[in-house]
Amino acid sequence: MIICYLGLGSNLGDRQQNIRLALQHIGSLKNTKLVRISGIYETDPCNCPPGSPRFLNLTAKIKTNLSPLSLLNELKVLESDLGRKDERKNSSRPIDLDILFYGNKKINSPRLKIPHPRLKERSFVLKPLKEIAPSLIKSLAKEAKVISHIEAMRKYAAKVKSSGKTIGFVPTMGYLHPGHLSLVRQAKKDCDICLVSIFVNPIQFGPQEDYKKYPRDLEVDSILAKSAGGDCVFYPQAKDMYGLGYSTYVNVEKKTDYLCGASRPGHFRGVTTVVAKLFNIIQPDIAYFGQKDFQQALVIKKMVKDLNMPLKIKVMPIVRDSDGLALSSRNVYLSAQERSDALVLSRSLQKAKEIIFGGERKAGKIIAAMRNEISRKKSARIDYTAIADVETLEPLEYVKQKALIALAVYFGKTRLIDNIIVG
Ligand code: PAF
């Protein structure tokens, strides 16, 4: 019998029940045995029309004597039996069944491609697959270039630059989501080589913060980074970045007095220190940051300007789930209830925008409306809500020109941030 891995997804009707039924049917296919299933992962629809419901995904290991095409045919029949009517790619569906792997076989026919061609782009496939086939994920991860030693990274980057090529650099703390991957894609578009760093930087976390439990998955991250266009992942160790007796820090003043700087003392000192070190090691031409961390991007731009660092900073738009939640590695901490409550972040920002377009200019009134909306959510505890100047980050009394509306809110123990620019 051949070992196969299947991907199952559902975003219409009773999604759990659809998956249960599909698994039952798969287990009862002739000459086929269901061996193992992963946990269920809820994710945003991928390339589906706007407003499509979220998916439940899982992977299954089966053993079968069916040929790849017979298995595909059986799965198609099952999809249609379970109510899939719309055959168009990416349409909403009670059940979607994909063959991810069929033994070691490689197939590239118009009807069937194995291994599944988009497997490596999708964390909602890679993560459940890792649960039931860790060695498969390990071997996929080995295809990506990962450098852990600082000197080796420096040499690699210097060689790229001396060959006349440009480097686009995406610094991250890993647990990559489509927001990070949008930066990787942009870097690869703009530059010859794209480098991605993955380093959970201990010195930007406060003593009571989530450094230890911050989610980490180098294998899945390196597969995702490579499939988005990353040429190399830099994965330094904390003991090498901050050796014994380490004592040099970069501190940007003023802009760090407000917003996250006020509620997370020392945070930006940790960020600018590590980013300056990474810039020194890699010497990128362009570095990419997301607008979700608006203050971080502004502080880094200021550091680059003040310290005459020879690179450009590019800030890319916030990537959101289809229901408005800004993507963050920390979203994995949220319970279903907290995630649903957290939708109030983008809703309250939109509300603030509407109030401003409706003619209200007093920051106090706009903030009060936002806080009112947020406080109605049981799991929400506001850290700050602010309307600020987009350059200095000083609080504004009136919204007369371009302004930043930013907030940080705890949902249970998870602190999320979001923002928009108005005007
Ligand atoms: O935004 C982040 O993930 C981090 O703050 C950064 C810029 C990678 C520095 O550790």
Note the CATH number of domain 329-422.
3.30.1300.10
C-beta of 171 in contact with ligand 1 (< 6 A): yes
Q: How far is the CA of 157 from the centre of ligand 1 (A)?
A: 20
Note the CATH number of domain 2-138.
3.30.70.560
Most ligand 1 atoms within 8 A of CB, residue of 216, 249, 264, 293 to mutate: 293
- pLDDT tens digits for the chain (423 residues)? 999 999 999 999 999 999 999 999 999 999 999 999 999 999 988 877 777 889 999 999 999 999 999 999 999 999 999 986 666 666 778 999 999 999 999 999 999 999 999 999 999 999 999 999 999 999 999 999 999 999 999 999 999 999 999 999 999 999 999 999 999 999 999 999 999 999 999 999 999 999 999 999 999 999 999 999 999 999 999 999 999 999 999 999 999 999 999 999 999 999 999 999 999 999 999 999 999 999 999 999 999 999 999 999 999 999 999 999 999 999 999 999 999 999 999 999 999 999 999 999 999 999 999 999 999 999 999 999 999 999 999 999 999 999 999 999 999 999 999 999 998
CA–CA separation, 394 and 255 (whole Å): 8
C-beta of 326 in contact with ligand 1 (< 6 A): no
β-pairing, 107-108 with 2-10? unpaired
Q: How far is the CA of 16 from the centre of ligand 1 (A)?
A: 36
- Show me where the domains of the chain are located: 2-138, 146-316, 329-422
Closest residue to atom 1 of ligand 1, CA basis: 172
Q: What is the reported pLDDT for 50?
A: 75
DSSP letters, 206-273, are -TTSSTTTS---HHHHHHHHHHTT-SEEE---HHHHT-TT--------SGGGSHHHHHSTTHHHHHHH
Q: What is the reported pLDDT for 49?
A: 76
Most ligand 1 atoms within 8 A of CB, residue of 234, 249, 271, 273 to mutate: 271
CA–CA separation, 98 and 75 (whole Å): 8
Residue 180 a catalytic site member: yes
C-beta of 338 in contact with ligand 1 (< 6 A): no
Instruction: Report yes or no on whether pTM surpasses 0.75.
Output: yes
Note the CATH number of domain 146-316.
3.40.50.620
CA–CA separation, 276 and 66 (whole Å): 56
DSSP state of 326: B
Q: What is the reported pLDDT for 301?
A: 98
C-beta of 68 in contact with ligand 1 (< 6 A): no
Q: How far is the CA of 265 from the centre of ligand 1 (A)?
A: 16
CA–CA separation, 260 and 240 (whole Å): 28
- Of 4, 32, 33, 31, the closest CA to residue 105 belongs to 4
Q: What is the reported pLDDT for 87?
A: 62
Q: How far is the CA of 204 from the centre of ligand 1 (A)?
A: 9
